[in-house]
């Protein structure tokens, strides 16, 4: 592994412009999932890569759901591969609520607009650009570099990363991977930290079923399925789950305490010894960071969909509530179900819709150290700290790979705005932020995979 970034001179303005063009092209391909049609994006990526002589394969678990895998091979590999991964499917849009065409890829006022501009065609475009730059510069690698653009992440990954891991593992069997989910700068106590995703919660979703006696709605009943569900919902809303510090969050707090010291350091030390939400909420945090910590230091159960009733004049015999449950690493989904059952009471039935626990990658690794060193050069004065994300990514389908989420923006990026735009209206990313992420990935790969000189 090289100890310094690549000495090759690169015109980073031109590289940023190239990444912008690739992102615009990807945004103009409608890969809304469902149905996906990710082969559109896979073909575009393959064309750009093959034009530069890079090895490419497109794999489809289902027709039209293309996954692209590309590889730059090391002449004499001394370690297992590094993978740059992403997904090309996007969530649906409400076109009438957008200020611009969500599939137009427009460049306006220094921003690139479109569904997927943040989640996550921007990172895919940057990863593509990095492979092209490495190939053109003839950078010598000491481990293979894999580029994987998966389908179906937004709907669970069964036609994407999960299928490839099960059926074509040799294509993506890497030691490490860089993924989505981190890289946004936050300010804590006047110091700037870049958060690196070192873990994520698992989706152990629930269904709460309430049953009761049906009847004509003109004759009210006291004990109905609707009433029982209402009571259960009220109890669930009032429930305050215990605060739990996973390894990534503990390391984040330790990093903050080490840098800030003083009263904040003392407060963090007390939290590490006896974690409570009241103490964490009292830290000098902005609202976004406080919400992030609240979501990632507990198991959560958020009601999202209600099913029930078939006529307005009929009291239903059954009403169902679907709950988006997210649990921390090492939590047992069945114990989680039992806990929620005890919270809502025996008048309703709680069942599991999915059974996933959270995952975590050890930040004490050579790749994490390379991330820290690369950011120290690109953004002097900032620090990197691990954290846990409340959502899920394709990382959960790759149990043999150490996955870190990190795609940094510029220090002054509108992180709060970006957070609100992911899966929202008017999604867009700044050209400067795309360029920053592209340069970081290139420098990281050159540092971590480049042969020592």
Contacts of 261 (CB under 8 A, 6+ apart): none
Q: Is 340 helix (H, G, I), strand (E, B) or coil?
A: helix
Q: What is the largest CA-CA distance in the chain?
A: 85
Contact predicate 151/124, CB 8 Å:
no
DSSP class of 241: P
Strand partners, 315: 215
- The runs of H, that is alpha helices, within 186-224 are none
Is the C-alpha dihedral spanning 215, 220, 222, 227 positive or negative? positive
Under DSSP, the state recorded for 81 is: P
Structure tokens that stand for 72 in this block:
């730059």
Q: Are 378 and 439 in contact (CB under 8 A)?
A: yes
- Catalytic residue IDs: 89, 153
Tokens 């590289």 belong to: 15
On the CB side of 207, how many CA atoms lie within 13 Å of its CA?
A: 12
138 upstream amide cis, omega within 30 of 0:
no
364 Cβ contact partners less than 8 Å away, ≥ 6 residues apart: none
């Amino acid at each position: 592994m090289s100890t310094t970034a690549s000495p090759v001179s690169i015109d980073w303005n031109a590289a940023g412009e190239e990444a912008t063009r690739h992102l615009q092209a990807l945004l103009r391909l409608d890969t809304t999932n469902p149905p996906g049609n990710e082969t559109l994006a896979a073909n575009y990526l393959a064309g750009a890569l093959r034009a530069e002589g890079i090895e490419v394969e497109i794999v489809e678990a289902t027709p039209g759901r293309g996954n692209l895998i590309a590889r730059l091979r090391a002449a004499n590999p001394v370690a297992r591969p590094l993978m740059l991964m992403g997904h090309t499917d996007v969530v649906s849009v409400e076109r009438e609520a957008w200020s611009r065409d969500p599939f137009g890829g427009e460049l306006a006022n220094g921003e690139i607009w479109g569904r997927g501009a943040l989640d996550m065609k921007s990172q895919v475009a940057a990863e593509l650009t990095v492979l092209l730059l490495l190939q053109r510069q003839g950078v010598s690698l000491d481990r293979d570099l894999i580029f994987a653009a998966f389908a179906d992440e937004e709907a669970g990954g069964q036609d994407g990363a999960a299928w490839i891991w099960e059926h074509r593992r040799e294509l993506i069997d890497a030691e490490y991977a860089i993924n989505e989910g981190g890289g946004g700068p936050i300010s804590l106590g006047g110091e700037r930290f870049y958060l690196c995703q070192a873990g994520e919660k698992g989706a152990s979703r629930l269904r709460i079923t309430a049953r009761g006696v049906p009847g004509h709605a003109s004759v009210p009943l006291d004990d109905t399925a609707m009433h029982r569900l209402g009571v259960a919902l009220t109890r669930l809303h009032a429930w305050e789950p215990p605060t739990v510090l996973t390894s990534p969050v503990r390391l984040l707090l330790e990093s903050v305490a080490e840098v800030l010291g003083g009263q904040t350091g003392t407060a963090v030390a007390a939290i590490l010894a006896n974690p409570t939400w009241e103490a964490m909420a009292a830290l000098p945090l902005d609202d976004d960071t406080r919400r992030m910590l609240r979501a990632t230091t507990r198991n959560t159960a958020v009601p999202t969909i209600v099913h029930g009733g078939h006529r307005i004049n009929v009291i239903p015999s059954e009403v169902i509530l679907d709950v988006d449950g997210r649990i921390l690493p090492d939590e047992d989904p069945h114990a989680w179900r039992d806990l929620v059952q005890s919270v809502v009471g025996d008048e309703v039935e709680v069942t599991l819709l999915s059974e996933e626990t959270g995952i975590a990658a050890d930040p004490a690794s050579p790749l994490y150290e390379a991330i820290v060193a690369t950011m120290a050069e690109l953004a002097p004065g900032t620090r990197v700290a691990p954290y846990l994300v409340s959502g899920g990514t394709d990382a959960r389908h790759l149990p043999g790979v150490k996955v870190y989420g990190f795609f940094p923006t510029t220090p002054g990026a509108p992180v709060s705005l970006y957070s609100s735009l992911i899966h929202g209206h008017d999604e867009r990313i700044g050209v400067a932020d795309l360029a920053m992420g592209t340069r970081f990935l290139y420098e990281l790969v050159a540092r971590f995979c480049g042969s020592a000189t």
